């Protein structure tokens, strides 16, 4: 039973750490243990480690730590790329080593040995395409093209110059401080890809998320079918009912079957739990980015819109407060001449501060579901370049 409880605790702790690290800043977790764990993992742990280094090694150790942090977090580096390849390679090796001996089985054909390798290969190919493709770098040679493609909306984008590149910043672009370049239709800088996600590689990135979601689901289901086949081939249910006198019902058999699986195939169970957790996280990431694609919005723009709408809301609240104050003063001045209002009517009368006011998000780049998806598949700059080429060639 010690091994089983160890695996259960390992899975629970892994899930807690992953969810806290990736999702702990969400509003739903504010003030909870998950939010506190997120704060510790992202800020507190490093701060405690910095104090320890300063106490043991002094200022030299602290300076070395800051240099390392700068290289790992603020400059392009392949650390997370190597970690991704290690995770994928290590997971596939464990699957091959622990599960392929039972393929073909009762529910799994032998061809899955090859389709699994093909699936992993496609995932790595999408990873490489996202990592090493140009996200849409803007420079002095092509800035005029991007200025004509993406007009300013004068809401969250207005004409300004990039203080680093010394060129006009087209709408929807951003200067990435890590890559040190301006990127068209900038979404975010992805450390796992060691690259920006922009106009020209958003499609690869979204396909990467979707494919790896299916890859994890495929791995989870495949290992589950292998274990189900082992149950069938070894006649575990028959042995439990015939020799151990366990009632032939799901409620009686389930705990014993699970105990037997965990004790006999703990590596496979651990792999299933790991891939199931990762598939859930990937489904959330893909859903978020797909919703951005169909509304023709980027992650960077969501933050800009949040700031703009928050500012507009505060302005409208201030105007409503001023109008309510003015109305109250007018009511006081006219109180003597007006007939006295019923107390009940006055009690239920709605305050001007409570009146709803609508704040509209006017996204001029949203051209409709299909047009937005077409823009992701076939970026505007590529279409513009092709059009210019046709004009030149006559």
Q: Which residues are catalytic?
A: 190
For the stretch 229-232, contacts whose Cβ atoms lie closer than 8 Å and that sit 24 or more positions apart, written own/partner, are 229/102, 229/105, 229/106, 229/107, 229/108, 230/102, 230/105, 230/106, 230/265, 231/257, 231/261, 232/106, 232/107
Nearest to 171 by CA among 189, 146, 196, 188: 146
DSSP state of 25: T
CB 227 within 8 A of CB 265: yes
Q: What are phi and psi of 78, to 5 degrees?
A: -90, 20
CB 145 within 8 A of CB 133: no
**Residues 6 or more apart whose Cβ sits within 8 Å of residue 80:** 191, 192, 194
- Separation of alpha carbons 375 and 362, rounded Å: 19
Half-sphere exposure of 28 (CA within 13 A, CB side): 3
- Separation of alpha carbons 35 and 26, rounded Å: 8
If you write DSSP's letter for every residue of 223-278 in order, what string do you get? HHHHHHHHHHHTTHHHHHHHTS---SSHHHHHHHHHHHHHHH-HHHHHHHHHHHHH
Name the CA dihedral angle for 106, 110, 112, 115, rounded to a multiple of 10 degrees.
-160
């Amino acid at each position: 039973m010690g091994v089983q409880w160890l695996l259960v605790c390992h899975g629970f702790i892994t899930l807690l750490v992953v969810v806290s690290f990736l999702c702990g800043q969400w509003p739903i977790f504010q003030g909870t243990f998950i939010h506190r764990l997120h704060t510790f993992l992202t800020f507190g742990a490093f701060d405690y480690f910095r104090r320890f280094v300063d106490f043991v090694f002094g200022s030299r150790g602290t300076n070395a730590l800051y240099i390392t942090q700068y290289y790992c977090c603020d400059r392009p580096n392949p650390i997370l790329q190597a970690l991704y390849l290690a995770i994928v390679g290590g997971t596939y090796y464990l699957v091959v080593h622990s599960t392929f001996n039972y393929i073909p089985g009762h529910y799994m054909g032998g061809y899955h040995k090859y389709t699994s390798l093909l699936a992993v290969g496609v995932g790595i190919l999408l990873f490489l395409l996202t990592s090493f493709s140009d996200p849409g770098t803007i420079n002095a040679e092509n800035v005029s093209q991007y200025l004509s493609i993406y007009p300013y909306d004068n809401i969250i984008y207005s004409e300004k110059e990039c203080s680093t590149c010394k060129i006009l910043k087209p709408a929807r672009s951003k200067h990435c401080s890590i890559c040190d370049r301006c990127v068209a239709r900038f979404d975010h800088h992805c450390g796992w890809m060691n690259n920006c996600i922009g106009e020209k590689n958003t499609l690869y990135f979204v396909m990467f998320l979707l494919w790896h979601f299916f890859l994890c689901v495929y791995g989870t289901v495949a290992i589950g079918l292998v274990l189900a086949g082992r149950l069938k081939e070894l006649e575990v249910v028959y042995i439990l009912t015939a020799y151990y006198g366990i009632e032939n019902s799901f409620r009686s058999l389930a705990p014993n079957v699970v105990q037997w699986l965990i004790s006999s195939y703990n590596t496979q169970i651990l792999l299933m739990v790991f891939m199931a957790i990762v598939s859930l996280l990937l489904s959330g990431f893909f859903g978020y980015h797909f919703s951005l694609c169909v509304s023709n919005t980027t992650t960077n723009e969501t933050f800009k819109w949040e700031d703009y709408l928050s500012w507009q809301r505060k302005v409208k609240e201030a105007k409503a407060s001023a109008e309510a104050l003015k109305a109250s003063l007018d009511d006081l001045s006219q109180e003597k001449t007006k007939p006295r209002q019923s107390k009940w009517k006055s009690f239920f009368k709605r305050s001007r501060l409570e009146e709803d006011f609508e704040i509209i998000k006017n996204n001029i780049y949203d051209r409709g579901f299909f047009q937005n998806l077409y823009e992701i598949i076939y970026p505007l700059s590529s279409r513009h370049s092709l059009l210019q080429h046709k004009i030149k060639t006559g």
